[in-house]
Amino acid sequence: MRRAIDHQAQYVLGHKTPNILELYTLGRKLGQGQFGVTYLCTEISTGIEYACKSISKRKLICKEDVEDVRREIQIMHHLAGHKNIVTIKGAYEDPLFVHIVMELCSGGELFDRIIQRGHYTERKAAELTKIIVGVVEACHSLGVMHRDLKPENFLLVNKDDDFSLKAIDFGLSVFFKPGEVFTDVVGSPYYVAPEVLLKCYGPEADVWTAGVILYILLSGVPPFWAETQQGIFDAVLKGYVDFDSDPWPLISDSAKDLIQKMLCSQPSERLTAHEVLCHPWICENGVAPDKALDPAVLSRLKQFSAMNKLKKMALRVIAESLSEEEIAGLREMFTAMDTDNSGAITFDELKAGLRSYGSTLKDTEIRDLMDAADVDNSGTIDYGEFIAATVHLNKLEREEHLVAAFRYFDKDNSGYITVDELQQACTEHNMTDVLLEDIIREVDQDNDGRIDYGEFVAMMQKGNAGVGRRTMRNSLNMSMRDIVQQSRKMEYPQQSFLVSVLPMPPQNVTEEMVMECCLFSGMLLVYNAIWLNHKLLKDPMNT
């Protein structure tokens, strides 16, 4: 069960720490996420610069969130000393934030370095893959499963040194024991392994993800691609890997052999990280050719990276608009409904809550609504399910936040995002070396050289990298309700932001039920979206 926490009653880190401001000077903002901000910081005693990730304690809304932060810090200490894993300097806590001080990686993202280099070969891809899989092997040998490998989570300490590549984010990582099976669905859509979607996995899932990264390094596009998150999951479960399209006919057979063995759908038959490092294509003095890859690969990498960057900026804008009061209000709503303080809302509690607001829904109709929210089929709505529905859906992707994010970029209120406006946004978000024309080209569907609101929303609704530390976990958990049964293979219209999160709405939910449900915990948007999805499935042309 997930229970709300009282931040005044305990330390997130479990103990009192020194005041970070007595040890470090906080400088400019380096990045923004849903749960906090990363700053440049300088150690007062030495003048050495570090990165400081400051996590808002008010946004750690349940005990599991607190445990996630503690575990992330423990794992970073546990892995300390590996040359390709970011070094943690220390963790500190004050009344408002948990601060994690770590090695500064100022050389930029992996893809950016490849694009800037211009000349790119299989051998270089093999060198980078060796580093990435080396991190996986180190994690597994120390009993850690990463669970969220992706190119954005690898940064360069120095932009002139490719071997300074570091893994930076362990927010979803866990300790594991041999043979232990995990069931919680986490990760990012393009990179998630099929067994994760099927809720029965172990460390082999990290090798799959590394195989996806290798495929992208050699082709510029993900192996499992679709316009929607649902479509991506279906492609992952089918497991078909395209080696026929360009540039694959020109890629060595050895590289394709390695990818096939890393993207094997059966985890037991997949190569281990150590076996990958021993493969002829990747090992020292291996067979990876030094011939330049097709320039189209770099072009695709630029476009793939560009769209991710714009979406990342937009999600930062949306995250910044979520006030602590909004989060606190959700906590209070759940507590009010959970009258027995069990950490979950039962059918009777849901019924009583609706009745107290004058609802006339029948018991069968309330049961239908409960089934829609009860993702794990436990018979109750636990805190995680409640927050997943209200925070991730009702806030991060609702219409007014998308409008606000678009307006943030559209400085002159022209109804379009231009190159100049993107340049200004990149400057404000400290995102350097961004190829603005590539962002426009990837998102601009009508090729008029600018991005209108419809194109912006389409980009935000496409399957993409995770939204944040834990919101993607919630999103994937919601998405997998019916996928694991593999009995429904329909791709649903994307006019509703909930379509990609609840694959099949209850077919007997009526519009009246939806409207009455707005009386319950401010969740009108959630159930209104269920109803819209239901109508779209029945008659998409006349909705």
Amino acid occupying residue 350: L
Residue 63 assigned to a binding site: yes
Q: Distance between CA atoms of 182 and 200, rounded to whole angstroms?
A: 6
Known catalytic membership, residue 148: yes
One of 65, 68, 112, 148 is an active-site residue; which one? 148
User: 228 near 293, Cβ under 8 Å?
Assistant: no
Six token digits for residue 310:
């714009």
Q: Which long-range contacts (CB under 8 A, 24 or more apart) does 362-365 make?
A: 365/509, 365/510, 365/513
- Render 5-69 in DSSP notation, one character per residue: --TTTS-SSSS----GGGTEEEEEEEEE-SSEEEEEEEETTT--EEEEEEEEGGG--SHHHHHHH
Helices (H) and strands (E) in the chain, counts: 20, 13
Which residues partner with 38 through β-bridges? 31, 53
Distance between CA atoms of 108 and 434, rounded to whole angstroms?
A: 10
CB atoms within 10 A of CB 197: 23
Q: Distance between CA 78 and CA 72 in Å, rounded? A: 10
Query: Residue 155 forms beta bridges with which residues?
Result: 109, 166
Q: Which amino acid is at 251?
A: I
CA–chain centroid gap for 52, Å, is 20
Token pair 């060198």 is found at 127
Which contacts (CB < 8 Å, 24+ apart) does range 48-52 have? 49/104, 50/24, 50/89, 50/101, 50/102, 50/103, 50/104, 51/101, 51/102, 51/103, 51/104, 51/105, 52/20, 52/24, 52/26, 52/99, 52/100, 52/101, 52/102
Q: E-strand spans in 234-322?
A: none
What six digits make up the tokens of 475?
């999103």
CA distance linking residue 365 with residue 39, whole number of Å: 49
Beta-carbon contacts of residue 177 (< 8 Å; ≥ 6 apart): 143
Q: Which residues have CB under 8 Å from 440's CB, separation 6+? A: 419, 422, 449, 450, 451
Per the annotation, where are the binding residues for ATP?
A: 63
Q: Which residues are catalytic?
A: 148
Would you list which residues are annotated within the binding site? 63
